[in-house]
Structure 1
């Protein structure tokens, strides 16, 4: 058995983290399987990958409204607008690259954790009636954007019941091809305990500040506020932002950390904090939801994080901070026992709506080429059950 995981960039984005999680889960259950993560853009053209990944963040920082319009027109549209038609010309080049990869590797399964390789894979599969590998989309946000190929992909691991209903209702995809797993994260984060204060003897609340891999969301102003130092201490995930790390180093109430690869280490940090201030990225939010940590959103990137935020707001799974007095909001929420209990109820309702275990779903999908019947796992109060679909 040979599985190719198609991500997009070589930099550690959420799409890459999910690919790594999927790779580990496959190897845990199938140690003899050959599992390879391919950064699709860098595989296709290393220079292009470097240019696109660098330009992407600069564009968002410098012209957020422009990027927001681009995302709405291209990423959220199923129709071939003028922009999407122009973009599709380049897909021929990427189809050739992907075809070459598949001829060289001859995988039994292809799993996409990014919408762009999914789109290219779907085009290639549509043109090849005898296409052998089974294909899977693994969605890494709380919604499905318009670039993902839906109809030509065999199976879908979706983030929510709403996403499953969308695939069934709008794209006529059979429900037995859809697994409502939530955004896949490591099992190490699945041992969330009920929300309780982890405040040290000093009486200060411990807040985790996460800004994504590039340290984009950092609240220097209020972290260094005199009243903040009295009531809070901070651990700041700086990602690969060395300038930010150096800036925060040496400040008594702040512990800055560079990018953390070790999941055990990150899990220990999650266990030590009272709340997190972060952006609404699909992977980080899912990890924290499983840890039952109160989530405060102060900022977000235009595009996918903005759409994620709407989903999270509707479910009341996050608290929004304003720029006037974010510390007061955090203090009031954390000390309100009734609100914390209500938050736990809402959180549990969401987690309970995830009807399928990632590990069991993955095991099922990897057996598809070996069995005529699809054995589909589901979760109920008694645990994991299996239902056979012919």
Structure 2
């Protein structure tokens, strides 16, 4: 891939799987374009950029690994990326693969700002920034509820974090407090905030989401034994065409299967139709549900990141973990007939949002961009 002109802002997820890294990058692009509608932006996967179709092979191997060997992946991820969150070492094997690729991209694009929604490109660019090869303003935007060891820290100018606990970790790593913003995991501005209202419900509409890949034990959850009493169930099947076709063939009156939805306005409307969300603990779906004020029930977690997310979300009392040995349906009803439990969730939800920066992401982007412009003007003068 070659580029003949400068790009003002680059956004870095990793791999081309439609993951939360991409959703957050898209949300940031929408926020950035609100501030700078005429500036150029581009979302880049450095693996596909540098190595073409190898990205598809890597994505396929990754998906098969977490599907067929989840416990092995979970142990390796915890050991290599999470066990010692304050320990930072150079990832020279990744630098060997990606350093020349990123240098080439920087020379072509010459960006003013770079946003990272995945740790690996953050790591590579942070090294180049410290060496003076990259001069752009760099921003880490964390898409999980913890900070893995791969994220670049030195050489990163600003950090958007979901929680105060993550801010504390960054401060312990030497980041200045003024350069950290508690924004939550950014979601698209098309999703409007709603307040949670505690009330007893006897008829419940439910949204079940397995993420963009339609994973997370949905088939078991959707057995007629579990969901026969619910008023209606919307199922986001994502790219799981087999699941979608199974639900269409079953033709259950109270279940509506939905394929992958790219429109955030449609997603916003869907959230407003339901009383609660059943999902796996991926950062984006969780953050969207919290923004919409919807109680969240977690039925499963992918190995690695999601299992760690679940630990942190449980600590914050922001999710209800479903017991697979009991009726899912009854557990959901038990929550909605218990006003005390609902009010406790509301209190924890308020506490989560209370510590966030009152400044919008759009305003923060504008401020740090202007700060960069001012600094460069002073350097020239």
Structure-2-length-normalised TM-score: 0.90
Write the distance in 1 (CA, Å) between the matches of 2:221 and 2:313.
24
Indicate conservation of the 8 Å contact 1:198/1:205, yes or no: no
Write the distance in 2 (CA, Å) between the matches of 1:190 and 1:231.
26
The alpha-carbon deviation at position 368 of structure 1 amounts to 2.4
Q: Identify the structure with bigger relative contact order (alpha carbons < 8 Å, sequence gap 6+).
A: 2
* 3-state SS in 1 of match to 2:42: strand
Q: After TM superposition, list the pairs within 5 Å mapping 1:1-390 onto structure 2.
A: 2-76=8-82, 77=84, 88-128=92-132, 131-169=134-172, 171-195=173-197, 204-226=203-225, 228-249=227-248, 250-324=251-325, 325-355=327-357, 356-372=359-375
The alpha-carbon deviation at position 255 of structure 1 amounts to 0.4
Alpha-carbon displacement from aligned partner over 1:32-57 (angstroms, at most 9, x marks no partner): 11111112221121222111111111
- Provide structure 2 residue ranges, at least 5 long, that are not aligned to the other structure: 1-6, 377-381
Indicate conservation of the 8 Å contact 2:85/2:147, yes or no: no
The alpha-carbon deviation at position 310 of structure 1 amounts to 0.9
Structure with more of its chain in strand, by fraction: 1
Alpha-carbon displacement from aligned partner over 1:54-109 (angstroms, at most 9, x marks no partner): 1111111111111012212322256999xx88x63242230100000010111111
Structure-1-length-normalised TM-score: 0.88
- The worse-fitting range, judged by mean Cα deviation, of 109-118 and 229-238 is 229-238
Write the distance in 1 (CA, Å) between the matches of 2:219 and 2:156.
44
Write the distance in 2 (CA, Å) between the matches of 1:227 and 1:239.
22
Indicate conservation of the 8 Å contact 1:138/1:156, yes or no: yes
Alpha-carbon displacement from aligned partner over 1:286-318 (angstroms, at most 9, x marks no partner): 110011101000100111111111111011111
Write the distance in 1 (CA, Å) between the matches of 2:227 and 2:119.
41
Alpha-carbon displacement from aligned partner over 1:242-294 (angstroms, at most 9, x marks no partner): 11000011222210000000111111110011111100111110110011101
Aligned length: 365
Provide the alpha-carbon RMSD of the alignment: 2.1
Indicate conservation of the 8 Å contact 2:213/2:238, yes or no: yes
